[in-house]
Every structure is written in structure tokens, then in C-alpha cells.
A and B are shown apart, each in its own frame.
Chain A
């Protein structure tokens, strides 16, 4: 048997703190072969990043204890001196970090930074290094490397910067690449580009990759082997198939069943209860026991007292669990069976909140006093949308598409540049801030970042009771009681009334934000990426909470998110936005079954699905390039610069949002009407709206067909042009 390229044996990292020793990594062992990818999966605090930092020698040994061994080829990393490590870093092993905005030096040109990386390890002349940098930039897919090489990092988009980071990591042809959440900060279409690039480069360089991620979809897409970490321990390890199709550890099972999925809709997600444990006060037995749904299946409460070992199930698969094999498999099968298709309810269509031809431009000004307008960011262009009571409208798109701006303008947190905003049949566009105050109790907002959305200097009680104070409402039984009832309703302990936000975890903080938004029983709530900052197991808890609150109080949600899977789970109808315009809007089943707009297609195919077998068969449409700047919108169809179906017409004519099937509108000259006959991702499924599409024809003829169909359409279907549509249709 050959020795694996990377061997990690019994790696432990602990940090002594004032309150006790934090064991961030505890006895982790794994191996990776060249050309293979090991994915380390876990939530924040699980020790996955510390593991990789320990391997790279980036853990400060002055305040941490690192034990164990790690071999890369013949080099032992843990006992290596700083000098030895410095020689290895960047040449034999290198690392890609999560945030491409923070990891490039803003003062140096990217070419200089890359050349520096090459010349540190190799004796290259300046000219040779530059040549090499150019080649490398080409390899990572930077267009016009000759022009880009002298750019500064801020001149590049996020995706481009991550490509530069990858180029820097690979410039010396390392045999081991550690990628720490390399695509988390990127949009999904860019993520698809980067993952594809990593895959290509891995083949080319025969690199061993350790991919650290929380996204099971990404894992299913690229990993060969998977290690699941929880509270610093490796709790399960196996091949991709082992982990996804016969998960053994209840934690892995919980993760798989709590992820909202693009390829399935269940009425309710099954979250993992509770919070990850404190690394200082770990449970005495199995670290997962307090949250484990299967712990009661083990007799004598053994899980609470006994630390399980990592035991092999097969030659490739090992798990740390006290359940016997049969019980584990039964538990897994039952839990995962719950992830099945759900039902669709019809909602009455009386939209309390509605936007008509909404336009929001942000002027770019110059000069301190005169404020001359030198340009305009067109964040939202002529958007029509509405949401009914008890309904969720998903607003989905990549960052910079204007979805958050649209949501905020609908609440009049931003003044629309043009167009109208209605609430409860009333035009609220012109209302002053003062006149809006009474309406604010019915229009609320839930924010993305649970850290920035709560004032750190106010108690939880103060934060949730602020709306009462501002509105001057004195509920029966007093504010405190009302607030505590709401706290209880959203799953917070009412006794924590006087605590400060910093004492709560991200998920609990988001519950505080939700409590603040719903405590006055609003009619419409705009949720701006409410779960994107949360860990997977917590995400599901919050999504369920939002759905329960909607059922109970009939709240209309406008759910702004970039994650198509979360949107699918939450929404009744979905609007897809691109560069400030809605390109497609319909109910979620039609959208996910038969998206008409090429952008929707690309977006959906870019989302990796946590199912390796499905992932292997999926065709991915990788969009080229980045989102164009909203300062200079492309002419004609805004999507034509990246569209794989773009024709001459798209460059000149702006497509209108037209109804192609009942309730299904799309703004495209050449929508994808070839009927797939089944869900794009799911496969054949019941209850899916079939399009009355023509017989399958070669694409060019289909296009001609649609064009003629479009021109012969009766006037009334053109929503934007029809003056009668505005009331009631939404």
C-alpha cells in the first residue's frame, strides 16, 4: 500500500483562555491523495478552519497548543520550524481564503503580488516572473491578462479577485491546496465558474485539495471524500457516496435533512434542535448528544456519559456514534424520507403591498457643496410586484441586482425615484416620513446581519419594545408582558429580557430581530436575506419560525434572498431579478419546473444540489463574466452581455415582461420554451404546470415561432403596457 500524500494523525489544537481551555480541534486524522478532494464540512466553531490553519502553520503557537502529526510527502508540518514552513507555504502547499476582498493587498498591482509569490520560492528574473504571471492569469480565466496584470485589486470584481487568489495559490504548482470556503463570498453563478476552474486546475496539476465548506451542495459537486466535523471532532468520514447515501452519524443526517434544497420542497424543514455546544463546557459524553434526535435510542443513557470512538463501518467509512449500525441506518432512512414534495396552497389575491413601475436610481455626486450629479446607479428599473396576505413573494437574484433596494423601497425606507408604491390600496409614494409613522406598525423588516441589526448597547427587551415606544402603543398588560410573549413565541427565553445581544448566538439574534419585526403584528414584512448569515442547522429553525409566524398571523413576506433553495422552501411566488429588472415571475412550481428565462436557467443550474449522483448528471450552464455595472446598463436586454442565447435583437430591444403561461411572466425575446416535460432538477413530479409549448424543434426555429407568437399576442397580455392591469391582478 502506498503512503497517502497528506496524512494527518491525531491533530489537536487547543487555546487556553481565561475561562478554560478551548479545544478547537480534538484528535483529527485523515488522509488525502494527490488529485483528490477532501471536503471538510461543519458549522462555524466546528474546528474546520482551525484544522486547515494548523496544517499551514498559521496557528499562533504562542497562544495555542498544537499536537499530533501531519505529513505532506516527507515533510512533517506540526513540528516544523517557521523557516521550514515558510519554504513549504506557497510552494508545496498553499491556501485560498474566503474573502477575496481582504486577502489581496490593496496597494499593490495584482501582477506584482503574483510575481512576488513566484519569486519568493523560485529564482526567476523579473521578466520571467511576469511571463509566468501572464500565463497563470490566463489559466485562471482572467480575460485580457496583458491588460489586467497591472490592475489594482479594487479594479476587479469579487469573482476576478478570487481567480487572482487562485492564481497566486497555484503559481508555484503546489501539491496541496487548502481552500477555506472559497466561494462563500461569491454569487452563485460566479461560484459555478470558480468551482469549475478549481476542478480543471486540479486535473492539470494533480493537486490534493482540502475544501472547507458549509455548503453540502458544493461538496456533492466536487468532493471525492468527506469529513464531517462537529465541536472540534471528526464525527464521520467517508466517500462522497457514503456520506450522502448512507450517512451514519445523526449529525450528518440532521445536516442533510435540514438543508433547504433546490431539488425538493417539504412543508417543513427538519432542523437540528438547539445550538452547538460551548467548546469550554463540552458535554461529558458524545459531543452531539444534547442535540441528537437519536440519542434516546441508545440504552442506559450511554450517549450522555460515554465518548464514542471513530469506528469503521466499511473500508472507506468511519463514524463516531454509539448507536448500532442497524438503528443508525433506520434513523437515517426515516429522517431523510421526510424530505419529500410538499403541497401548494392557493391564496386569495388581494395584495396589501404593491409596487408599480418602481424605479430607484442613486445619483453619483461630485463636489462638496454643489453636489453635481455625474452618474446614476440604476438599482431598480420599472419593477412591478405585489404580495398578498399570507403569501410569500421570493425576490431572488445575485448581489447588485436591486432586490434589496426594491424591498426597501416598497417599505418606503428608500424614496422611489419614479413609480408608485401602494399599501392597502392607498398610494403611499408621496407620504412624508411623519405620515408614514402610523403605517410602520404594519410594514416591517427583518435584516440580514444579526450582528449589525441589533444595537449592542440595548437590552433584548429594549430592542423588541422599541416599536411600542415609537408608536406610542400601550398593550394590555404592559409592554414588558407583550414583549415577553413575543419572545416566547419566537423561541427565546423570556427571562433573557435584560440581556444584551452579544450574549446570543447568530440564530438567537436573528430571532430577536424577528421578534422586533412581528411584535406589533405587521401585515407586510420584508425579509432581507434573513438566513444567509446563519449556519445550516440554524437556518432551518429560522425558516420554520418564519413560516409558522406567517400561518399564525397571515403576514405577507417579501423574501429577498440570493439562495434559490431557500427561496424555493419559503416562497409561494418567485420573482427573479437581474440588474434592476424582473426577468421572470411566477409561482414557485412553474419557476423551478420550467424556467423560461435563460438567466433563471443559468442561475438554477449553477446551484449545486446536495446529491452527488444527481450532481454528476446535471448539465451546468456557466455564465461568462460578471454582472455589468449598474451605472452603465447594457442596451436592449440587460442580460444580453452574458446570455448564451443572445441574438442581434437583444442588443437593441428591451424585452417586456409578458405572460407566457397562466401566471408565468418572463422578459425575454427568446425564452426557453422547449418543454422539458419535467422539473429541471427534480425529474418528473406531480402538480407541475406544463407549458403549452410547441413540439420540440431546433432552437432557431423555436425562436422564430416565439417571435411571431409574441407579435400576434393580444395587447392585454403586455402587463407593463396595459393600463387596466394595475388593480387586482396582483
Chain B
């Protein structure tokens, strides 16, 4: 791709600038998710935010608005992936089964081609996590899928300005290994309880010390992170498959009062009543076949519809578990759940607003509503059809993926060089972008 050198310098020097003039996407079928579909709709964005969504006939465009004709297209919110391993990062190492101080912030390659493929699949927000080979493998990171050069620029932020994320935990067979890892399910739960009890003690000492620095316990990164979990700032994202393991997670969450999203939940259909009674959010995976590991032998695409049948549609989300499934196929997963009986409405909410809420980002992303981030995708047809293509992906008012662009198409379809990490623009040595 040719770039004019000065423009290149400009783009490099400044963070991505969202358009400063209102931009109106006119004539599409709009799926706002939080409201009924609009057949002939308008989406207006400005400075990275949504300023209006509505029917064309009744939406007044601000003065100075630039119009984009999207007649025949479908617009919906950018997809939110609650469970991804893109970025090639490893969190915890093999030294211990519980490592709360480890941060994915320090491990993710923000130029990894997996992030580009996720853009090509319409994913605009991701929870990037370490693996499930530990009871607790570290702090996850919530990313805004922009084309930037540093991980800090990708991070969502907590109110205090620190990078936002949850805590990855797992039970079942993946985390059962040779010592010092647990060898049984009972031991797994005991180790987790010990860690949380210690964190409770730490929190109590902190509270007792109050403002008196001399009385504070020594700083302890692991306990500090677990205190964030105990206080609800950090949501636990818990890998769990088998029905009894699912119930163990619910039991521990109740004992220590932490907030939890259940991930994978292969046996959700077996314990749907208990999940719904606990109001436990489920980030589900739909795979093409059962098995591959013992605890996924009964995984069933009907889990989502079983939760929906019990009136708990807001508890349903999906995730790619990229690389288990590919970010370009996220829409497909929801469609397979529809094939297995889920309503279309819940399927689409399960890719957008529901997972956004599971990341505490429901007020910022996940639906097309005034005031929310301008994260959306342009499709050439029904989101649940195999023949539909993601044509464009927009993040915070910036177009980050365009199928019409040959470089972007490479991420979407594959081809020579598609697996390599994204480069930058190497300035001032010529006009060639270096990949």
C-alpha cells in the first residue's frame, strides 16, 4: 500500500483521530440490539461517539453532516468477544497454579495478525486472557480493537485510569497437573479457597490500617489483585466445563462474593436451573463436534437455548476462544446456536450487548445508542448467513477494516503473508509501507 510520506508521519505521531465532522450512515437496516430493528435507518457518529440512531424519515441530521450511502447494508454494533487468546501472550508460567499478579498487559503483541483477523470478523472489543492450565493464570485485559502501535492505546480503562480487565480462573482437568499444581478437584477448590482467604485477611489488614501507612501490611501484588476481585472491581472469568465443576465455581463465588462470568460451560444445559437461579452469566462456545477432551464430551449447542427457555436471555453470550475458533467466524457461532434453537434476538445480543455487560462495558459498547462508542460493523446481508460478508469494521469512529482494501482483504480471506504480524509505517525512507 502506498502512503504519502507526510501523511504517514502525521498518522504515526498522533493517536488515531476520529472524524470531527458528523458522519451519517444512511439507508441501512440497523440492528441496534437494545431496540427493535430499523429497516431504513440512519446512524450518526461524531468524535468517536454515536450521536443519533433512528429511522431515516424521523432523524434530523446535524448541520455539516457528511452522508454515507449504506442502502442495502446491515449495520449492527461491533462484536464483543469475552474470551480470546490473540496476541500470542502467555500469562502465568509453570511455577505455581495461582498467579494473580501476572498481567496480560505485559504479554500481548498488539500487532498480532489475530487482532486483524478479529477486525475482519467484526470484533471491536476483546477480553484477552491467559490459558486455562492454571487455577488462576492472571489478570486479563479488555482491548478496543484499534490499529495502534502500543498495548496501552488498546486498553479500556477503569475509572482510576488503570488498564481494565478481569481475572482468569479455571477448574476441571486443564489445571490438574503434577505438583505444585493440584491433582484432584477437591485440591483445586481448596487451593483457591486458601488464596481467597489470604486475600480477605490482607484486605482486613489494609482496612484496619486505614490512612496510617506504618500499620499497612507490606505490598503484595498477588493479594492486591485478589482484593480487586473481592471488591468487585475485577470480574472473574472462569473456565469451566463439567456440570459439577460449574457448580463448584458458583459455590466459591457465593462464599467469597466475587463476581463471575462462566466460560465455555459445556454442560450448561445440564445445570441450567442452577445457573439461572444464581444469575450467573455464561459465555458459551459452540464447536463443530463434541469431545476433543473428556470434559467437553457432552458440549451441546443447545445450552444457549436452554438458558433462554428459562427466561435468562441476558445471561447468554458467546466467545471465540481464538484460536480454538477464529475471530472471523464469530457471527457463525451465534448462527449455529440459532440452528440449535436459540432466538435470533438472543443470538445477536449474545455477540454484543450481553458480553459487553459481562466486561462491565455495557454502558460504552454493545448496542447502537446515543452516547455510546461508535463501534459498529457494516454487513452485506443477514448477520447469521454464511454468505454475508463483514464489509467494514469501525472502532470509536475510525474505520479499522474495509474489505475493499487489499491489505484488509488479506486478513479476511488469507493468502500470502496473512499470518504475519502487522507492521507499522516506516517513515521517510520511501513510500512503501513495511509490513
Co-complex (A, B): no
